[in-house]
């Protein structure tokens, strides 16, 4: 066992291992990749830094990467999302992991730094939200003498800057060297993908990137069906509130919003949706949800959930108008969807981990989940294994692609080819007893495909 780890309690490892054993039975895509590539070890030589929620499902991903030959070091991408028994099981299996549920922001960036500490340096990144990529690129810019603070005064940016300065002092030139050694990054989520496209647009992406999020078998499944299960799970574990009959507002009707609205409807809530995009607003309306503006429902609704990947969606003026004991939470990647910083000078009463009651000037109180960080991972255990298997099968295929064929890629953002997307889906059919119809050659020719696929043109939207 390695001693190179930071977990809450290593004695949780056996419990973690039992849950991992169960998760493996629900993750057919990852297990099929072990079967297909375990002997060939296509990731031999890859030294992968993982920055992704340290859950049981991620533990199965990590062990798949190791089985395919990679060296792996891991940090969580969120301070509340770690499952301590999963981290313990992974540490006990010999993989250096740095993740504790409820770690501070300072620890978060320190642990990310530690996850880069391969003796020969990292050469691949597997990211969720882009923190590992950001760390290396910001550090390299700081080494080049640039001022790296985009929003001076932001608590997290000050923490990042301090961590970067510490590393620069201890190992001059480390960021530039690390940046130049990275062969590629695979990115898990919508928000991280935005960051990558932005870097590319500015000519600042120094290595190839694969956008895993926009595999159909990722965003149309994890973001949607995953949130459909895990949103209500988080609200229930946090509050035990009766959702049936209550009015819930979902801000944003993209993939996560669609799953979240369905989740709340499934629990019996009367769901309203806010949107800025007329296409998504029309989709919400035609799915049977009332499309409203927040200001019109802020006083009457019981539950507010942000799903936008945007900032300042629920603001202080909204929270001040909410009814007593309204529940407020976010399921988007970052904590700036709700203006939590503006609540700091209010009276907070901690109810239990990741549940706070905050008193407004009117005397009304609101219940804030996970301090505005993604509540399905903060208050519950994130998405179920089966849907994460689809996401993580894409991750592993992306890592194999970048590691084995990286030189064929430019410094751009790519998505996996459709035949691999279809392969990921196919690997998940048998588990749920789904039988695929085969195309006759004449039928295939009639619709302009081959019987083996791909079955749709690139522009098809699913
Ligand atoms: P998306 O782009 O499909 O959907 C976001 C929607 O929010 C868009 O339709 C957009 O028009 C809308 N929107 C933007 N600003 C708005 C505003 N001010 N008011 C109302 N609507 C607004 O993105 P997706 O894939 O749904 O992801 C959303 C967020 O959730 C991202 O941060 C992503 O990284 C994160 N995510 C979280 C997961 C979790 O398990 N918690 C899983 C997958 C993604």
- Strand 184-187 and strand 270-274: the pairing is unpaired
119 CA distance to ligand 1 middle (Å):
38
Phi, psi (deg, nearest 5) at residue 110: -65, -40
Best mutation site among 250, 307, 313, 337 for ligand 1, i.e. most ligand atoms within 8 A of its Cβ?
307
Q: Is 275 in the pocket of ligand 1 (CB under 6 A)?
A: yes
pTM of the model: 0.98
Q: Looking at residue 241, what is its pLDDT?
A: 98
Cβ of residue 252 lying under 6 Å from some atom of ligand 1: yes
Q: According to the model, what pLDDT value does residue 147 have? A: 86
Query: Ligand 1 within 6 A of 331 CB?
Result: yes
Ligand 1 contacts CB of residue 276 (under 6 A): yes
Ligand 1: which atom is nearest the Cα of residue 190? 34
Closest CA to 368 of 330, 337, 425, 321: 330
Please report the pLDDT score of residue 149 as a whole number.
Answer: 72
Ligand 1: which atom is nearest the Cα of residue 334? 32
Query: Is residue 379 in contact with ligand 1, taking CB distance under 6 Å?
Result: no
- The alpha carbon of 190 and the centre of ligand 1 are apart by a number of angstroms equal to 7
Pocket test for ligand 1, best of 309, 314, 373, 385 (most atoms within 8 A of CB): 309
Using the mean position of ligand 1's atoms as its centre, give its distance from the Cα of residue 36 in Å.
34
Residues counted in the chain: 462
SS (H, E, C) the chain: CCCCCECCCHHHHHHHHHHHHHHHHCCHHHHHHHHHHCCCCCCCCCEEEEECCCCHHHHHHHHHHHHCCCEEEEECCCCCCCCHHHHHHHHHCCCCEECCCCCCHHHHHHHHHHCCCCCCCCCEEEECCCHHHHHHHHHHHHHCCCCCCCCCCCHHHHHHHHHHHHHHHHCCCHHHHHHHHCCEEEECCHHHHHHHHHHHHCCCCCCCEEECCCCHHHHHHHHHHHHHHHHHHHHHHHHCCCCCCCEEEEECCCHHHHHHHHHHHHCCCEEEEECCCHHHHHHHHHCCCEECCHHHHCCCCCEEEECCCCCCCECHHHHHHCCCCEEEEECCCCCCCECCHHHCCCEEEEEECCEEEEECCCCCEEEEEHHHCEHHHHCCCCCCHHHHHHHHHHHHHHHHHHHHHHHHCCCCEECCCHHHHHHHHHHCCHHHCCCCCCCCHHHHHHHCCCCCCCCCCCCCCC
Rg over CA atoms, the chain: 22
For the annotated catalytic residues, the residue numbers are 53, 76, 81, 128, 188, 213, 218, 222-223, 227, 333, 383, 391, 395
Question: Pairing state of beta strands 347-352 and 355-359?
Answer: antiparallel
For the chain (462 residues), the mean pLDDT of every run of 10, in chain order, is 91 98 98 98 98 98 98 98 98 98 98 98 98 97 88 82 97 98 98 98 98 98 98 98 98 98 98 98 98 98 98 98 98 97 97 98 98 98 98 98 97 98 98 98 98 97 96
**Span from the CA of 260 to the centroid of ligand 1 (angstroms):** 11
Closest to 125 in 3D by CA, of 37, 41, 204, 47:
47
Residue 133 zone, left/alpha/beta (φ > 0; ψ -120 to 50; rest)? alpha
Closest CA to 289 of 310, 264, 307, 317: 264
pLDDT of residue 152: 63
385 lines ligand 1 (CB under 6 A): no
User: Distance between CA atoms of 301 and 71, rounded to whole angstroms?
Assistant: 49
């Amino acid at each position: 066992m390695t001693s190179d780890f930071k977990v809450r309690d290593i004695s949780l490892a056996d419990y973690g291992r039992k849950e991992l054993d169960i998760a493996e039975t629900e993750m057919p895509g990852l297990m099929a990749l072990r079967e297909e590539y375990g002997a060939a070890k296509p990731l031999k030589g890859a030294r992968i830094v993982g920055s992704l929620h340290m859950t049981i499902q991620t533990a199965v991903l990590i062990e798949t990467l190791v089985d395919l030959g990679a060296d792996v070091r891991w940090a969580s991408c969120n301070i509340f999302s770690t499952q301590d028994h999963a981290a313990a099981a992974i540490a006990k299996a010999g993989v250096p992991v740095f993740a504790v549920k409820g770690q501070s922001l300072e620890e978060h960036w320190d642990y990310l730094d530690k996850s880069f500490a391969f003796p020969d340096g990292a050469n691949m990144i597997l990211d969720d939200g882009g923190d590992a990529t950001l760390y290396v690129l910001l550090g390299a810019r700081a080494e080049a003498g640039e001022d790296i603070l985009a929003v001076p005064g932001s608590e997290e940016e000050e923490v990042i800057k301090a961590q970067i300065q510490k590393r620069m002092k201890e190992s001059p030139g480390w960021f530039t060297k690390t940046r130049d050694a990275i062969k590629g990054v695979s990115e898990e989520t919508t928000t991280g993908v935005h960051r990558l496209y932005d870097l590319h647009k500015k000519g600042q992406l120094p290595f190839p990137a694969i956008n895993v999020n926009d595999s159909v078998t990722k965003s149309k499944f994890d973001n949607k069906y995953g949130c459909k299960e895990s949103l209500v799970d988080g609200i229930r574990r946090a509050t035990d509130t009766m959702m049936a009959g209550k009015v819930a507002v979902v801000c944003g009707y993209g993939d996560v919003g669609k799953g979240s609205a369905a989740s709340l409807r499934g629990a019996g809530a009367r769901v309203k949706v806010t949107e800025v995009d007329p296409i998504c607003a029309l989709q919400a309306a035609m799915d049977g949800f009332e499309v409203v503006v927040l200001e019109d429902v802020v006083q009457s609704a019981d539950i507010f959930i942000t799903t936008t990947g945007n900032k300042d969606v629920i603001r202080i003026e909204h929270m001040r108008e909410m009814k007593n004991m309204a529940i407020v939470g976010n399921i988007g990647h970052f904590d700036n969807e709700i203006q939590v910083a503006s609540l700091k000078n209010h009276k907070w009463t901690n109810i239990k981990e990741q549940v706070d009651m905050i008193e407004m000037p009117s005397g009304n109180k609101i219940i804030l989940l996970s301090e505005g960080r993604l509540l399905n991972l903060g208050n519950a255990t994130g998405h179920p294994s089966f849907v994460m298997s689809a996401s993580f099968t894409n991750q592993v295929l992306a890592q194999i692609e970048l590691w084995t064929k990286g030189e064929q890629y430019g410094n751009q953002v790519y998505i996996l080819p459709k035949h691999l997307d279809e392969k990921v889906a196919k690997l998940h059919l048998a588990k749920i007893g789904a039988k695929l119809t085969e195309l006759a050659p004449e039928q295939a020719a009639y619709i302009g495909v081959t019987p083996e696929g791909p079955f749709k043109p690139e522009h098809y939207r699913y």
